[in-house]
Amino acid sequence: MLDEVINESDILSKSRYIETNGIAMYKFAEVTGLEGVVGKKKQSLYWFGKRSKDWKKIKILNEEDFICIGYMFNKNSMTTLTLAKYNDNDEFIITNHVSLGVSISKLKQHGMRFSSCPI
């Protein structure tokens, strides 16, 4: 039915789907650098702004270990961590900053401990 009323263009496209081989689709998304895949019950409907257990977003999560070497306070009392790691030449490098949705005081309430800087 959708094919009869929608003409695809540069600004409008139809969602494609596969009914089998979900694991292969996930692996394809992983190697092509996509965020993940969405799975749903075939007969379920999409409702704008509402979540449903019939739709599942399966994100590709990449893991890497970092060392937190510092923090900064933002305007709204939230915290940004400065992260570092050792590169392939065994050099300690600052890699990025990560903003958290919580304050340092809230982290302390949940057991965050401070230690001296490793560099």
Contact call for residues 37 and 61 (beta carbons, < 8 A) = no
Res. 39: pLDDT tops 60: yes
Integer-rounded Cα Rg, in Å, for the chain is: 22
pLDDT of 58 reads: 92
- Per-residue pLDDT averaged across 45-53, rounded? 86
Mean pLDDT (the chain, rounded): 83
Which pLDDT band, with edges at 50, 70 and 90, does 80 fall under?
confident
Res. 101: pLDDT tops 60: yes
Res. 82: pLDDT tops 70: yes
- 12 — phi, psi (to 5°)? -140, 130
Sequence length of the chain is 119
pLDDT of 85 reads: 92
Res. 28: pLDDT tops 70: yes
- Per-residue pLDDT averaged across 92-108, rounded? 81
Of the ranges 51-55, 83-87, 114-118, which one carries the lowest mean pLDDT score?
114-118
Give the pair of three-digit tokens for residue 50: 């509402």
